[in-house]
Structure 1
């Protein structure tokens, strides 16, 4: 498949009163055309900063892109002017934000909010944009779209507002859709509906998707590949089959162990990941997960782990999976 987006050695920092927050540290990822990729990790791991950097939405200052490339359709987005980026945002790359209530303009009807991108990027007339906006409302499953077109965001439920956000993001048929925790504020029933809708629209429109979430459990039916992020780095990546069947980083194992299982007894507690993420103003010299890892070795505290290729597309940044550690046989790692 053709590579649509490629992020190379991306590092992003924020200059704050206390020092330099190294939010993203040498991140590498790629998305193929028509592919759905999940970026998972706990809050503060760098998922949203990565997405906002791709969209060039990081405020500078305090943000600062230290190094790297963001190649979209072969073009480095970091070298484009703001005027050129405005031609890409909402047109070739769409984004669904976490909270639809704060992302939608409360003073404008939802129809007008869908139409404005069509008028700006597609050059449609107001009547043509209205017709297309009503089609999009119908496509995302909103009943009586002609009436809903004239309503304001406060007249919609949380799930309906999220569907409006999806309609806005997909109105111009973007090649890439970035969904930043699109189901966080919704109940589990609506979560499932939104995820099914995204998968259906991806197949219909052949749109690539980056799904950002902290929950590994919701990506199994939607995504083709998974990238696990921790402390500003991609610590494990692979197909969903590789990640779920053979999690190889202790953090990935911890995320999976913290999920409830159908076979779990009522009195059986969930297994949490103990400790807290590292301070990215002064990140540890070795592995960022070292202080929370029950299998940490001496080298983990002093030397950044190298990326180990486990075969297929499965890669992990962990000393435990290094061939030298495997041959030593001194440490046993299990889920």
Structure 2
């Protein structure tokens, strides 16, 4: 597959009254054509900051891309001018935000808001833009699109507003779509509908998606690959099956263990002890060391490199060092792996 986006050794800081917050500390990942990459982690891990930097939507004045590259085609977005970014935003790279009500302009009709990027980036005339806006509303599952075009955001339900935001984001058929917790503000039933809609639309317009979430349950349904973030760094990355059923980093073990699982008899959900690190004063070693029950002395002294687990799977934990003691993952992780392997074996037998 062809790479469409490359983020290389990205460092981002925020300058505050308390000092410099090192929010992103050397993030690397690639995005390939037609794939969905999910970025997961607790609040404050750096997920949204990373993706907003791709769109160059970080607050001016106190944020700074200190080093690194964001390569998109022939452009390095980390160094691109405001004029260049204005051409790229909405046309080549679009974003779906968490809360549709704050993403939409309450004083403009839905029709005008969908037509705006078409007129600006695609140079459509008003008649052509209106026709395409009706098609987009129909595409995202809104009935009577001709009537809805004349209405305002407050006349739509939360789920319908999110469908409108998706229609706006997809208006120019972007190469990359960034979805920042797009279903968090919605109830579970609507959440499922929106996720199904995004998967369906991705196939139709052949876009690549970066999906930000703290909900691993959502990830299983939408992603091809998963990047796990902690303390401003990616600590593990791999395919969905590798992250869910063969995780290697203790932080990922904690996330997996905290997920509800109907196949096990556990009555209480696991909670990762402690709190995320203070990025005003980042730890010298592994940022997860103080919360890691398997931490060794080296974890407090040196940051682990990315160890290769497979061609698609990497994890930054000293437990993967050849000299490290062998540690068994938690029971919940082992149970998930066993259930997965049993289902795979049954599938193979059924295929014969």
* TM-score, normalised relative to structure 1: 0.97
Question: Any conservation in 2 of the 1:111–1:133 contact (CA below 8 Å)?
Answer: yes
Q: CA RMSD in A?
A: 1.1
Q: Note the C-alpha offset of 1:256.
A: 1.0
2:243 aligned counterpart, secondary structure: helix
Match runs of 1:125-164 below 5 Å: 125-164=125-164
Matching residue of 2:46: 46
1:112 aligned counterpart, secondary structure: helix
Equivalent pairs, count: 331
Q: Note the C-alpha offset of 1:259.
A: 0.9
CA distance in 1: counterparts of 2:311 and 2:201, whole angstroms: 28
Match runs of 1:174-193 below 5 Å: 174-193=174-193
Residue 277 (structure 2) pairs with residue 278 (structure 1): yes
Matching residue of 2:292: 293
Q: Note the C-alpha offset of 1:77.
A: 1.1
1:7 aligned counterpart, secondary structure: strand
Matching residue of 1:312: 311
Matching residue of 1:82: 82
What CA deviation, in whole Å up to 9, does each residue of 1:178-234 have, x standing for no partner?
000000011111111100000000111100000000011111121110000011000
What CA deviation, in whole Å up to 9, does each residue of 1:116-152 have, x standing for no partner?
1100000001111111111100000011111111110
Question: Any conservation in 1 of the 2:253–2:329 contact (CA below 8 Å)?
Answer: no
CA distance in 1: counterparts of 2:240 and 2:328, whole angstroms: 24
CA distance in 1: counterparts of 2:72 and 2:300, whole angstroms: 36
Q: Note the C-alpha offset of 1:306.
A: 1.1
Question: Any conservation in 2 of the 1:92–1:173 contact (CA below 8 Å)?
Answer: yes
CA distance in 2: counterparts of 1:3 and 1:132, whole angstroms: 30
Matching residue of 1:6: 6
CA distance in 2: counterparts of 1:332 and 1:218, whole angstroms: 27
Matching residue of 1:268: 267
Question: Any conservation in 2 of the 1:44–1:231 contact (CA below 8 Å)?
Answer: yes
CA distance in 2: counterparts of 1:80 and 1:321, whole angstroms: 38
Question: Any conservation in 2 of the 1:12–1:63 contact (CA below 8 Å)?
Answer: yes
Question: Any conservation in 2 of the 1:3–1:73 contact (CA below 8 Å)?
Answer: no
2:159 aligned counterpart, secondary structure: helix
2:5 aligned counterpart, secondary structure: strand
Structure 1 residue runs without a partner (length 5+) = none
* TM-score, normalised relative to structure 2: 0.92
1:65 aligned counterpart, secondary structure: strand
CA distance in 2: counterparts of 1:181 and 1:145, whole angstroms: 26
Shift of the 208–12 alpha-carbon distance from structure 1 to 2, 3 Å rule, reads: same
Matching residue of 2:323: 324
What CA deviation, in whole Å up to 9, does each residue of 1:267-309 have, x standing for no partner?
7111111111010000111111111111111111111111100
Runs of 4+ in 1 over 3 A off after TM superposition: 331-335
1:44 aligned counterpart, secondary structure: coil
Matching residue of 2:345: none
Match runs of 1:125-274 below 5 Å: 125-265=125-265, 268-274=267-273
Matching residue of 2:110: 110
CA distance in 1: counterparts of 2:322 and 2:103, whole angstroms: 47
CA distance in 1: counterparts of 2:19 and 2:322, whole angstroms: 37
CA distance in 2: counterparts of 1:108 and 1:197, whole angstroms: 25
Question: Any conservation in 2 of the 1:41–1:228 contact (CA below 8 Å)?
Answer: yes
1:234 aligned counterpart, secondary structure: strand
Q: Note the C-alpha offset of 1:264.
A: 4.1
Question: Any conservation in 2 of the 1:295–1:333 contact (CA below 8 Å)?
Answer: no
Matching residue of 1:121: 121
Structure 2 residue runs without a partner (length 5+) = 334-352
CA distance in 2: counterparts of 1:71 and 1:171, whole angstroms: 23
